[in-house]
Structure 1
Amino acid sequence: MTPLRSQRINQITHEPHARLDAAVKAHAPFSSREHFARFVEAQYLFQAELQALYQDPALVAIIPDLPARCRARQAREDLADLGSAVPAPVAGALASPGRAEALGWLFVSEGSKLGAAFLIKRVAALGLSETFGARHLGEPEGGRAEGWKRFTRTLDSLEFSPEEERQIDAGALAAFERFGMLLQHSYATEQA
């Protein structure tokens, strides 16, 4: 039996996901508010780059609640709570992807909300919560699991050509690579 599209994307992104998890842990974002602020900076940069996808009329036609799912505003507010400046955009952001590639990027962004359930528990030790400093990790309206299930059900129901299947896979892989790069960038500025 052929796996669902969402299952296939999970399988092909398993290794980059594990690499990214290791990179996050290596930067010890939960060791101090200053370290967490660098993590939020990377989150903000990534979400800000995806804002156009979350507002794209063609994608909103497929996923009606897409605009409300974007977390760029919450990450920006978190930076203010943490006393951090909003970082300047970093060269190399995604530009004008096709529908399938865009959905690959959104798959990674939306999937990260599941991991955020564990991260939000860790920030409590820093005096942060989903109402101060860690809004972008907060529980989405309607719940994490339900939001993810709705997203993957929609994604799995779309008709794609073999080329579009390659594009969605490439988009998901590129999203992990981009977040990893933004994470490195954010922590590199800490030492500067």
Structure 2
Amino acid sequence: MTAQPNRLSAPLRSQRLNQLTHEPHARLDALVKSYDPFASAERFARFVAAQYLFQYDLETRYREPALIELVDDLPARCRVEQARLDLIDLGHAIPEGDETIREQQLGTGAALAWLFVSEGSKLGAAFLLKRMPALGLSETFGARHLGEPQGGRAQGWKRFVAALDGVSLDAEQEREADAAAIAAFERFAVHLERCFA
């Protein structure tokens, strides 16, 4: 019996994107810590403003019909409205987003890679939510965007990853997805720097 080509041992797309973004993710984590966003409600509001801007960037992707065909609950996954309401709770001005990312023509792979970064952040949000009572905040006041998604975090993530790994992409689309995942982390860093400036 001949061995199968090592296609079976190739990492899934989600695993590859995870590995590829390890360094930009670590850099972003360090940047977040440097701003100490959990030191006060005022500092946390700046962090929420960055979240709002990132979700604003992705709002149109969450409504794309071609992507909804892959992930049927995609529109409900967007957190731009929750972040906007959090900023109102926190008495913080709602920053004006720009159209740079919203107007980009992205292929399926690149669009899914941007959403991969956004959806992945919901897993870490569970830990951040535990820090909210110390700031007088909760998933119903000031920290809605960190709340438990309908159906649960783990289940929602598994469904998204299954769609990401299941879609057929050519080599160029795979390269676009890789670049987009890194760009998403870099974009969030830009928003953080702006909101804490």
Give the TM-score category using the shorter length.
Answer: over 0.9
2:110 paired residue among 75, 86, 101: 101
Unmatched runs of 5 consecutive residues or more in structure 2: 1-8
1:136 paired residue among 119, 135, 145: 145
Q: Does 1:22 align with 2:4?
A: no
Aligned-CA RMSD value: 1.0
The answer for the alignment partner of 2:16 in structure 1 is: 8
Count residues with an aligned counterpart. Answer: 188
**2:59 partner SS:** helix
CA distance in 1, matches of 2:151, 2:39: 31
Is the alpha carbon distance of 1:91 and 1:27 closer, same or farther for their aligned partners in structure 2, counting shifts above 3 Å?
farther
Counterpart AA for 1:25: K
**Percent of aligned pairs sharing the same letter:** 63
The answer for the alignment partner of 2:83 in structure 1 is: 75
Q: Deviations over 1:161-184 (max 9, x none)?
A: 011111111111100000000010
Q: Does 1:62 align with 2:70?
A: yes
CA distance in 2, matches of 1:45, 1:108: 14
| Offset, 1:88 | 1.0
| Offset, 1:69 | 0.2
The answer for the alignment partner of 1:179 in structure 2 is: 188
Contact 2:57 2:99 in 1 (8 A): no
Residues 154-165 of structure 1: pairs in structure 2 closer than 5 A: 154-165=163-174
Q: Provide TM-score, normalisation by structure 1.
A: 0.95
| Offset, 1:97 | 1.4
Q: Deviations over 1:133-161 (max 9, x none)?
A: 00000000000011001100111111110
| Offset, 1:90 | 4.1
Q: Provide TM-score, normalisation by structure 2.
A: 0.93
Contact 2:54 2:191 in 1 (8 A): yes
Q: Deviations over 1:6-28 (max 9, x none)?
A: 00000000000010011001100
**1:132 partner SS:** coil
Counterpart AA for 1:70: C
CA distance in 1, matches of 2:108, 2:164: 11
CA distance in 2, matches of 1:171, 1:51: 16
Q: Deviations over 1:46-71 (max 9, x none)?
A: 00111000001111111110000000
The answer for the alignment partner of 2:134 in structure 1 is: 125
1:33 paired residue among 15, 35, 41: 41
Which structure is larger by alpha-carbon Rg, 1 or 2? 2
Contact 2:129 2:138 in 1 (8 A): yes
CA distance in 2, matches of 1:155, 1:56: 15
